Each structure stands twice: as structure tokens, then as C-alpha cells.
Chain A
């Protein structure tokens, strides 16, 4: 934690493998003491309620465990930095005598096969699950989880346009998700419009709202913009709660028409999907259809984003992210550029929202709170802003991870019967966001492909690309 001392060459030679153990111990002890201070009283006493009164339950054992963990981690960190400094101080004998090749990293090599692999798994997922689980009923849970993850992948990709490409921090993205969901819910329940008409309408409406909300605020600086979008997100949610005549308030809109297979309903009777194709009726048909629907929507989002990146507007987005002032002096209309990013991102949010409504058959304002925005933002940030595959992996890990953890029964035997990883999910998201910003601000997979190439594609590591200040 002290500033690195100025060392001469002679001193660097003298670095040995042993590190100052007592200093590290002292520092770790200090950190543990601070942790102790932080955990008083919020961790050391739990407030429980009996009747109208609160009473306190001491939990000093937990505090001791937390402090011990912090102490240990701090020591390990010291050991790690010391060994890394040692490695740096003793150059490998081959260094500077051989040519340095700008070889693609191991990840970049793997990602060539990674993307087709992921795509293949995603496309065959219901079949794979059917084969593994051995039945449609058994695979219901997994297909449902797949739909949930893909919804977040799509939302992540949609927000990635705004945050990752254009560099505008949008904390109210869930508002457009809500606009999409309520568009479908209201249009289908009041006018009886089908999902396939409502889907584009929901996207258009969300984009329209994106423009309405975006137009006045996009002149603002980055962090002001974030707060205003947050305020707009909350305003939309509060209006949805309080405008009972239109939205039925907090009770939400139920009995929204289910998805149909291009007009064929998923029902058991005559004229249904199963009867038309001569299949035996099964409730899972609809689920599998929904799975492919959201997969198609997500892939569409990805495809459009990838193509847009190569258009002038996409390049302008990325230029804007890097340096707004330079953009303006080069004659890029920053307001229009921001507005397109904002509304296109909002449009995909709207698509995802109407899919959400058709999947659930029920929408209520509670599904669209700030936490949801924060989760989507966490997915984009942890995936490495701007990286499409990173966002997809982050969505799988962040949304699927807790679900998988919940099914691991041995965790319950360690942490007690009532252990639910979902409780700690957001806690870890928060820590993850901070850790990401501190150590890898470009994301775990920080691969940044240039959108314009002169002669040949060269591998540029994300850590080599300097971030501009705009």
C-alpha cells in the first residue's frame, strides 16, 4: 500500500525471493482491524423482530471469520505482489535477444472456435437437454433457464450499444424494457393485436421513447446523463404504478395472450400447433418455441450491432466514446450520434420487453425496478464494455451461475440448510463491478477489434488501447 520506492538498477538486482514477512503481517493485521471496525455493528449484531420490539443477536463468530478471511487474503495478496515484483526484477535470459511477435493471445486463438461452439450449443440446446434429461418434462427447468439467460443476453447486447459502443452510461435501460412489455400487454389485451404485430410496434414505441427521453438529456456530461436516465427510469416505473386506469397499477396486467406459432396457438385442440403438425400435444412445445424466438431476437440484436459498427454511424459511436471533443471538432453531430445509439439500444430493449410479456403472460411494475437496470449494467460491465461475446458469457455466468449454485446440494451442507445463493447474487455483482473497474476496466475479455482495417487484421489487446478522456 506504500508508494513504490525509487530503485536504481543495482537495487533491483538485489531483489530476492524472500519478501518482508513482518511488514506484510503488520499490514494484513491493520486491514483485519479496519474490517473489524467496519463490521461493528452492522455485522456483529443482527436486529430481529419479535412483535413490535426489536432485539439484538450478537454474531461475533461471523465477524471473527470475516476478519480472518480478510487477513488471509491480504497476506496472499502481499505474497503475490512480492513474487510478481521478483519476476519483473529478474528478466528472463531470452528477453530482448529475440524478436517480439505480436502473437494473438491464447484467448484470441480460442475465440475463433469459441463463437461457433457457443452458437452451436445455443442452437441445439433444447435438443441436447432433451437427450441429457431424457424427456420433455424433465427438460422444462433447463429450457426455462435458457430462455431467462437469453433474455439477459439480449438486454445486455442492447445496452451494449449504448454503454459499450457509444459510451453513454444509461441507468434507466429497464424503462425501455418496461415500455416494450407494457406496449405488448396493452395492445394485445385492449385491441387484440397478435404478438407478431406488437413486436415491431413495441420496438418502435421503445425507440420513440428513447428519443423523447434522450433528446433533452443527451447534451449532458456522462455522469449527469447517467443520473437523469436513472431518474427517467424511476419516473416511468412510478407512473406505471400510479396510473391505475391505464396500467392497473401495482397489480399489473394479467392474462396477456400467449405466443402463437405464426398464428397457430399452442393448444391441445383442433387447429393447434400439435394437431397441425401431427404431433402429440405437449406444453413444452411452446417453451421450445419461445426459446428459439428469444435466440433469434438475441442473434438479430447481435447481427445488427455488428453491422452497425461497420457503418459510419457505428464508427461515430466508438469515436464518441473515445473522445467527444475530438468528435465535435471533426464535424460529427454528437447529439444525433448519441440519439441513434440511445434509440437503437432502446428498440432492442423494447423487443426484449415484449418477449418478456409474452413469456410471462403477466407484467407488473415490480419487474422493472432499478435493480433490473443494475443487473443488466453489471452484465455489460463485467462482460467488458463493447465486447459482444463477453456480454453473452457474463449473462450466462451472472444469471445462470446462481441458479446452478442453488442446485448444488453440498453447498447447503457447508453453509446450512437455508443457504440460497440468490441472496448473495447482487452482493457479488456489486463487488464484481468494483473489482472490474479497479483491475480490468476493459472487462475480463477485453478484446477490441478495430472496425476499420488497412491491410491485415492485427491482434490488439484491450489493455494496450488507451482510453481517451472526453
Chain B
């Protein structure tokens, strides 16, 4: 029972990270119908940006308050990663609108290869461990066998930050004119353009928002695992994509739900079955969902237009 509760907490933490990344996939897919393969690497890049700024703040500028440092890092990482997201869309995806079907995906794979190798060349191939950030834990209750169910501050921070950002993001999409423009472009890009919506700018902003949320996930990932390397973008990226597909690609609540489910499945699989095959489990879910339930849990069935 204690192990179950503990894994539930761990799974929800991991799931919120996946959910944050998954939103980037699902939004981009919703608006221009492409799988942004490079999104996982944007996430990895943002973890590196956070790492470097965290080092600058703590060692060079001597900020001793971890909470303040984390907050500044989060904001800076969001800004800089957004710039990357914008630049990637501008250089690699925008010129391809109206090109053939596979062109954006191949381009995205190119960006993904570029980003991971760029970070490898710029920062070296080794794992980068962070200085310990937040270490305290709250013991929720003690089990009879002496197994403590603990909720670490890290996990609290991750869940709270995710919840807050998701609320802001939800407000942005549901209540503002930007969100309306976005949903309009999603439904019919040509019609939206005719009605005076700047489609290019809306798509750019979608990438910017996706990248910003991925950077939050990157900072949280760094906080949670305390280590990052240049090829850390691939597997979390595929898992987050699985989450987006599982929740129904194109659906925002679906992405968060899918992220939580994938996080839970992964932790429970590691705890109760075998840790070696946890990635196999995630990849299999991706294949199974795509084959048998391509519209996901909350997605609308896809209608093919001729």
C-alpha cells in the first residue's frame, strides 16, 4: 500500500513533466497538422539553458536563495527557449507550408538531429550533474513495515508550477483573443486568414507557447533528476508524444491527461514489473494506441478530406 501511494506520487510528478511537453506537440499538431519531432530536443535544450543560468546565478552572482534562483531561471529559460521555438518555426517549418506531405516531418527530424548534436558539440557529450537544489522531504505517513511515504519539496514544486502554468495557459487559450485566433486557425486556416487573422503570427505564437511550456518541463526535469545530457531529449520527447496521442492529439486537456497516464504507467511498470522494459512499455503504448485508438481518449475522430 505504501509503495503504491509512493509510486502514485512519483508517477504524477513525472506525468506532469510529460504533460507539459505533450502540450507543445498537441498544439502544433492541432494548428498545422505536423508532428514537431524536434520538440523533445527543444525540451533538452531548455534543460541545458536552465542548468547554465542556475550555475551563473548561484556561483557567480551568489544568490543563496534557491527559490529565487529557480524563479529567475524559469523565467529566463522560458524567454530563451521561446526564441529557439520561434526561430525553428521561422527557418525550418514556415518555408515548407504547401510543400509535400512528409517535408515538415523530415525537416523536423533534421532540426532534432541538429539540436542534439549542437548541444553535444557546444557542451560536451558527458552527463551534466547539477549542484543539489531542493532536498527536503515531507513524510506523509509511516508504514507499518517502516516504509515511509515521502513527498519531496521537489515534487511539490513541480506539481504546483505545472498546475499554475496550466491554469494560465488554459486562460490564454480559452479567454484571450490570441487563443480565439489559434482555435480559428485550427478549424480553418484559410477562412481565418480571410477574416483578418494573421495566420503566420498565430502559428509562430503557438510554437513560442509550446517551447515555453517545454522549457518549464526542462527546468523541472533538471530539478527532479539533477542531471541532463545531450541525448535526453529523445526518449522523453517520444513519451510526451505518446501522451499527446493517448490523450487525443489536438486536444489540450487530453495532452495533460495522457501525460499523467504515461507517467503513472511508467512508474508502476518500473515498480511492479521490470525497470529494463519501462521504455518498451511506453513505446508499445504508442504503437497500440495509434493502431487501435488513433483518436485517443479525448480526441475527435479524424475526418479525412479529399
Contacts and interface: CB of A to CB of B under 8 A. Distances in A.
A56 B102 CA distance: 40
A434 B88 CA distance: 10
Contacts of B112: 430
A437 B110 contact: yes
A434 B130 CA distance: 33
A325 B131 contact: no
B48 A227 contact: no
B49 A42 contact: yes
Interface stretch (B154-162, B174-182, B279-287): B279-287
B102 A169 contact: yes
B124 A437 contact: no
B110 A432 contact: yes
Interface string B117-150: 1111111101011110000000000000000000
Interface stretch (B5-13, B89-97, B186-194, B258-266): B89-97
A423 interface: yes
Interface string A30-53: 000010011011110111110011
B287 A232 contact: yes
Given A227-B241, A427-B118, A434 B287 contact: no
Interface string B236-278: 0010010000000000000000000000000000000010110
B87 A437 contact: no
A55 interface: yes
Contact of B107 (A56, A241, A433): A433
A224 B290 contact: yes
B238 A231 contact: yes
A467 interface: yes
Contacts of B60: 56
Contacts, number: 188
Given A40-B80, A217-B291, A238-B280, A226 B130 contact: no
A223 B280 CA distance: 20
B129 A438 contact: no
A373 B241 CA distance: 19
Interface residues of A, number: 64
Interface in B103-121: 103-107, 109-115, 117-121
Contact of A434 (B83, B110, B290): B110
A228 B287 CA distance: 6
Nearest to B77: A41
A438 B280 contact: no
A227 B129 contact: no
A16 to B, nearest CB: 28
A61 B189 CA distance: 44
Interface in A453-470: 467-470
A45 B52 CA distance: 7
Interface residues of B, number: 66
B49 A41 contact: yes
A325 B52 contact: no
A47 B306 contact: no
Nearest to A429: B113
B102 A167 contact: yes
Contact of A238 (B48, B107, B124, B277): B277
B286 A433 contact: no
Contacts of A467: 99-101
Contact of A430 (B48, B111, B126, B291): B111
A427 B277 contact: no
Given A46-B123, A430-B111, A169 B129 contact: no
Nearest to A216: B291
A434 B53 contact: no
B234 interface: yes
Contacts of A231: 238, 283-284, 286-287
Contacts of A431: 110, 114
A82 B99 CA distance: 24
A423 B277 contact: no
Interface centre among B87, B105, B234, B287 (most CB of A within 10 A): B287
A220 to B, nearest CB: 6
B106 A433 contact: yes
B220 interface: no
A377 B107 CA distance: 12
A27 to B, nearest CB: 13
Contacts of B65: none
A437 B123 contact: no
Interface of A: 34, 37-38, 40-43, 45-49, 52-56, 167, 169, 171, 216-217, 219-220, 222-224, 226-228, 230-232, 234-235, 238-239, 241-242, 325, 370-371, 374, 377-378, 381, 423-424, 426-427, 429-434, 436-438, 441, 467-470
18 contacts: A34-B83, A37-B80, A47-B51, A52-B129, A54-B129, A56-B52, A222-B101, A223-B102, A224-B294, A231-B286, A232-B283, A235-B287, A239-B280, A429-B113, A430-B112, A430-B114, A433-B113, A437-B110
Nearest 10 pairs of A and B residues by beta carbon:
A433-B110, A430-B114, A430-B113, A467-B100, A231-B283, A434-B110, A437-B107, A41-B52, A427-B117, A426-B117
